[in-house]
Amino acid sequence: MAILQTLGVVSCLGGPMHFCGYAAEMLRDEFARQNLAQKRLQLQWHMLYPDSHGSKEEKLARLNKSISRFTEDWTKANQSFLIIGGDHSCALGTWGGVLNGLQQPGQFGLLWLDAHMDAHTFATTASGNIHGMPLAALLGRADKKLASMYPGSDFIKPENLILIGVRSYENEEYELLKQASVDIVFAEQINGLAQVLIKAIDKLSLTCGTIGISLDLDFIDPVDAPGVETPAAGGIKAEELIAALALINRHPKVCGLEISEFNPEQDSENKTLHTMKDIIEAFYGEPQ
C-alpha cells in the first residue's frame, strides 16, 4: 500500500473559531481506528503547531513558512501529499510551497472548491479573518500585511485558477477575481459535479503540468457537512463530491489535496469527520 505524506496544521489563527485546529488530530485517530482489512491507504502524519509568541500575523507568517517547506520538498521530490487544516489560511503555505518547489511555477494550476471566494485583502475585509484572503495573496494581489504571511516567491497565474461551488461572497473579492479574469463556476451552475471537475482539470491540463486541489469543507452542503466554520446553504451533496473524486482517483497531474475548515464543535454525529475521511479515501485510496 502506498504511503501518503500527510501534514496536519493544528491552527485556527486565520478564522473566528477556536476548534478547527483539532481536525488533523481527530482524523488521525479516526484512521488509526481502522483495521488492516479496511485500509485503502497509509497516511504518514506530520503535525505542525503554531508557536506562541508575537502577533497573530507573525504566528501565521511563521506557520505558513513551515507548511511551505513541507510542500516545497514534496513537490521537488514529485511526491503527492495531503494537507489537513486548520482554517483555510493554510493555503498560503501549501500552494506557496508548491510554487517554490516547481521549476516552472507558471505551469501550476489550482482548483478551489469553496462556498466562498477567499479573495479579500486587509483593505476590503469586514471581518479581518485571514481565512477569507488566501486567494488574493496566491494571485499576487495582496496588500503588504497579507503579503507578509505568504511564503511563496511566485504566484498563480489567474488563468490557472478555477473556483468551483461559490455561493456566498462580497463584491470587493468578486471585483478582484473579475479584474484578474479568474474562472468561477458558481454553485447554481453545477449540474453534475464530476463533469465540472473533469472539465476543469482538462482545461488546466492544456497549460499546466501540475495541479492542486484545495477543498474548503463548506463547499459541501451543510446538511451533509455541518461541522464547518462558515456554513452556506445550497452546496454539493457529500456523496456527489466523493463519487466525483473517485473518478479522478490519484490523477497523475494532481500533486496534492488540501482539506480545510473542519469545526468539530458544529459537527453532528461525526458526519463531517467521516465525510472528510471518505473524501481522502475516494481520491487517494486504492480503488475498491
Residues at the site binding Mn ion, with contacts judged by CB under 5 A: 88, 114, 118, 216
Task: Name which of 10, 19, 15 is nearest 265 in CA terms.
Answer: 19
Which residues fall within 8 angstroms of residue 190, CB to CB, at 6 or more apart? Answer: 164, 165, 196, 236
Least distance to Mn ion, CB of residue 17, Å: 13
Instruction: Say whether the peptide bond before residue 86 is cis (omega within 30 degrees of 0).
Output: yes
Q: Which is nearer to Mn ion, 120 or 157 (CB)?
A: 120
Q: Which is nearer to Mn ion, 107 or 124 (CB)?
A: 124
Q: Which is nearer to Mn ion, 45 or 174 (CB)?
A: 174
Task: Name which of 257, 261, 188, 187 is nearest 218 in CA terms.
Answer: 261
Amino acid at 234: G
CB-CB neighbours of 77 under 10 Å: 10
Q: Which is nearer to Mn ion, 41 or 118 (CB)?
A: 118
Q: Which is nearer to Mn ion, 118 or 221 (CB)?
A: 118
Return the axis-axis angle of helices 271-284 and 238-247, rounded to nearest 10°: 10
Least distance to Mn ion, CB of residue 88, Å: 4
Least distance to Mn ion, CB of residue 28, Å: 22
Task: Name which of 159, 217, 163 is nearest 190 in CA terms.
Answer: 163
Least distance to Mn ion, CB of residue 112, Å: 8
CB-CB neighbours of 171 under 10 Å: 9
DSSP-derived secondary structure letter, 267: -
Least distance to Mn ion, CB of residue 236, Å: 14
Ordered alpha helix ranges (H), the chain? 23-32, 56-76, 91-101, 134-138, 144-147, 171-179, 193-205, 238-247, 271-284
Q: Which is nearer to Mn ion, 114 or 224 (CB)?
A: 114
Least distance to Mn ion, CB of residue 85, Å: 9
Least distance to Mn ion, CB of residue 150, Å: 16
**Residue 48: enclosing H or E segment and its boundaries?**
strand 42-48
Which residues fall within 8 angstroms of residue 55, CB to CB, at 6 or more apart? Answer: none
Q: Which is nearer to Mn ion, 165 or 285 (CB)?
A: 165
Cα distance between residue 29 and residue 271, in whole Å: 15
Q: Which is nearer to Mn ion, 197 or 232 (CB)?
A: 232
Least distance to Mn ion, CB of residue 78, Å: 27
